[in-house]
Structure formats: C-alpha cells, structure tokens
Amino acid sequence: MDYFNYKKKTLFAEDVDINELASKYGTPLYVYSKRTFLEHFRKIKSAFSDMDALICYSIKANSNGAILKEMAKEGSGFDIVSGGELYRALRSGVDPKKIVYAGVGKTAEEIKYAIKSGILMFNIESQEELHSINNVAKSMKRKVDVAIRINPDVDALTHAYVNTGKKESKFGIDINLAMGIYKSAQKLKHINIKGVDMHIGSQITTPIPYLNAVGKMAQFVSQLLCQGVGIEYLNIGGGLGIIYNEEKPATADIFAKAIKPHLAGFNLKLILEPGRFIIGNAGALITRITYNKKGRLKNFLIVDAGMNDLIRPALYSSYHKIIPVNIKNGSKLEVCDIVGPICESADFLGKDRHLPQMDNGELLCVRSAGAYGMAMASNYNSRPRAAEVMVDGGRHYLIRERETYEDLVSREK
Ligand code: LLP
C-alpha cells in the first residue's frame, strides 16, 4: 500500500502532481510520501501491540532528518550503526532510551559518544567488542546495558549480500559460542546484560527463516535463564520484505502471528528494527529522459539519474518498477533499457522494460526507492546528489537541497 497513484493520466504523490515537483525542484528528485511511511510504521506497531514492542526504525535505510523527525514524533525508536547515525538520531529529538546500537566495528570513540548520550543498549557483535565497551565504560565510571547479537545460522533466503544470519557471516556471535560470551559478560563490572539480539537479513518475504531463527533464540533464552542469566529484552532485528515487483511478502500481521507463539511464556520486551518495510515503498526517484537512443540491438532511455543516485540495480540486480509520470494514449510499447549517464555498464535502473514510446524531456518514476536509495547515493562521476522532497497531503517540502558543484569540492584542499 502506498500513495503514488495515477489521477486520470498523471502520477501523483498523495495529492501532489509529480510534474509540479519536477518543475519546481528539478530532477533527479527523491519524493517521499509521509502518509505511506507513517502507515507502514503503524501497521508494524499494531501487529505487535499486545506485546508492547519497541519499534526501532533502522536509520540506515533512509536517514533524512525530516523523516527521522516525523518517525520520532510518531513514537518510533531508532536502530543505529555508527556515530553519524547516532548524531542524526539525537538531532531528531528521539528519546535516547529508544536507541539501540548494532554494527561489527564500533570504535572506542563511537562507544564513548553512545554511552554519553544515554542510549538504551548496545548490540554486541564480538567478544572483542564486549571488552572494548567494558573498558570505555570503566574509563567513564559507568555501567552500560547490552544485548548480544546471536548468529543463529539460518539462511534468510534472500540476496547473498544481505543474508546476515548464516554461520559464515561476519555478523553476531555463533549461537554455539554465545553462552560462553554471556558468562564472561556477567563477570565484567561495567556491563549490564539486558538482552538477546538477532538480525538475519533483509528483504525477507517468507516468515519461515524468521521462525527458525526466533525458535532457536527462544531455546537459547531458556538456556540462559536456566543458567541464571537474566534477560529483559529480545530484539528480533529488521528484514521484513516489501513488494518491488511480483513478490508476495508476508504482512506484518502474518509475521507477528507466526512469531508470537515462540515467545509466549517468556516475559520479554520485544524490539524490532524495520527499515525497508517502513520507508521502501514510501519513496520514488523521479528522473527525466535526456536521450532516447536507438541502438542496433537495444533501445536505451538515457535518463538524468544514475547508479550514483540509486545503486541497488547495479549492486544487487534489484528490480524497481519504472513507470511514466504522464500516460499517453495510443503509443506502442517499446522494449528498452533505462540507463544513467555514468561511465559504467552497471549504470542501469532497469533492463528490457516495456514502456510506451517516450520522448526526450519526459519524466519517469522509479518506484520503491525510499529505502537504500538516497542513503547509498554517492558523488561518483562528480555528480551532485539529488534533492529530496516530502509530500504531506497536498503540501510538499524540500527536505534536502540538491548539491551544487561547489559542494563537490568544498572539503578539498
Ligand atoms: N537491523 C540491522 C542490524 C541491520 O543491519 C539492518 C539492515 C536492519 C535492521 C534493517 O533491515 P531492513 O528492515 O531494512 O531489511 N542495502 C541493502 C540492504 C542492506 C540492509 C543492511 N542491514 C538493499 O538495498 O537491499
């Protein structure tokens, strides 16, 4: 469900004509629908409402300050993975006691910043990190709350690059070694064990891997309790998939119904870290056709957005629907590749797509680009990054200015 729909023959974001946004703010342009991401947040919140779950939106999916501010207002917490994300989270006005901090490479400096900020807890990913946190906490004369991220060795049945819960992955601590780490954590003076954490991957469309992992975690929590290790929180991570094309992902309700029986009987507070589920379909990338190039084997629509704006097709062969902003009646469908201006063959947004014949200057909309779109954008080929706009009903707000050429060199000496 989202709010990018045609009214007559024109694509709208909520009640705003996309043509109007493109003329006012230029292209390439990221457009977000506030109603869409708030509804997605509410869906997941209500699916777990009987467990009073804390939803920590995963900032890495889209970290624009205006979006974070709206999410914080709505009651969301945040999942962070760096000092930069902590900075953004705090700026949003969120209660620091709703921030959880994951990531395999937290530096001493980042740990100090997080302790000073009073976050809810760290999700620890190695024995080495556990000691590093203990040492930093000691130097600050503090005791800090932690969960340990368990690697349950479950295949999330998703793209290899976003499959994070298999034993060969760098993430978390092997479930067979985890008890030892909890025992050693118990002995550390500046560590307070609070929880158990997992995150098995991203764009997971079936609840089965989730269920396997949660089942293993539940068993592990029972063992912890038997061994006298008290646990208050269970964090089951993010990863709920969305519809890009023909996927049929389980809904938040189905995920919740499947998971809850495993958790019955443990008096645990639940934490979730959804990113894509909330913001993925709430964003679109609007791009203008520069040239319609007819090749001998292929037709190319060369557009003004490239892999520096949206790297997902190049990096994961991801599919994003691409649709015209204005529908023309009677024009034949043509098979074409939609490509950017960057000097790489990986610079494509879509391949072999059937689109009506399009002219130079016409607009296309790349759907489902809210998550890991702008967040992964770069300046490759010295391209200033795109502007971002938030739509709220009939109103629209520039939430990030387009970069300028001066911005490209502003830090250079
Ligand atoms: N929690 C942790 C610890 C994570 O590492 C992630 C994502 C999430 C939560 C949120 O996952 P989500 O609900 O958004 O699936 N760039 C890739 C996705 C990378 C995901 C990294 N971790 C893509 O564009 O598909």
- Ligand 1 pocket member 277 (CB < 6 A): yes
Q: By 3-state DSSP, what share of the chain in percent is helix, strand and coil, each rounded to 5?
A: 35, 25, 40
Dihedral sign for Cα atoms in the order 390, 394, 395, 401: positive
DSSP string for residues in 229-275? ----EEE----B---SSS--PPPHHHHHHHHHHHHTTS--EEEE--S
Which neighbouring-strand residues pair with 288? 363
Alpha-carbon distances, residue 412 vs 110, 258, 308, 378, 407 (angstroms): 25, 53, 20, 16, 10
| Average pLDDT of the residues of the chain | 96
Query: Residue 275 C-alpha to ligand 1 middle, in angstroms?
Result: 6
- Ligand 1 pocket member 239 (CB < 6 A): yes
**pLDDT tens-digit readout, 241-289:** 999 999 999 999 999 999 999 888 888 999 999 999 999 999 999 999 9
Residue of 56, 226, 336, 343 marked active site? 343
CATH superfamily of 34-277: Alanine racemase (3.20.20.10)
Where do the DSSP E strands lie in 96-190? 99-101, 121-124, 144-151, 173-174
CA angle 146–147–149, rounded 5-degree value: 135
CATH fold for domain 4-32+280-409: Lyase, Ornithine Decarboxylase; Chain A, domain 1 (2.40.37)
Whether the Cβ atoms of residue 332 and residue 358 lie closer than 8 Å to each other: no
Query: One digit per residue, pLDDT tens: the chain, 413 residues?
Result: 789 999 999 999 999 999 999 999 999 999 999 999 999 999 999 999 998 899 999 999 999 999 999 999 999 999 999 999 999 999 999 999 999 999 999 999 999 999 999 999 999 999 999 999 999 999 999 999 999 999 998 888 888 888 888 888 899 999 999 999 999 999 999 999 999 999 999 999 998 998 999 999 999 999 999 999 999 999 999 999 999 999 999 999 999 999 999 888 888 999 999 999 999 999 999 999 999 999 899 999 999 999 999 999 999 999 999 999 999 888 889 999 999 999 999 999 999 999 999 999 999 999 999 999 999 999 999 999 999 999 999 999 999 999 999 999 999 99
- Ligand 1 pocket member 368 (CB < 6 A): no
Residues 205 and 156: their CA atoms lie apart, in Å, by 9
Query: Residue 202 C-alpha to ligand 1 middle, in angstroms?
Result: 5
Spans of all domains in the chain: 4-32+280-409, 34-277
Alpha-carbon distances, residue 25 vs 280, 308, 327 (angstroms): 22, 19, 21
Instruction: Identify which of 356, 251, 354, 347 has the alpha carbon closest to the alpha carbon of residue 307.
Output: 347
Residues 199 and 197: their CA atoms lie apart, in Å, by 7
Residue 56 is a catalytic residue: no
Flag whether the pTM goes above 0.95: yes
Alpha-carbon distances, residue 345 vs 99, 320, 342 (angstroms): 40, 18, 8
Dihedral sign for Cα atoms in the order 161, 272, 119, 34: positive
**pLDDT tens-digit readout, 148-184:** 999 998 888 888 888 888 888 899 999 999 999 999 9
Instruction: Identify which of 133, 216, 125 has the alpha carbon closest to the alpha carbon of residue 176.
Output: 216
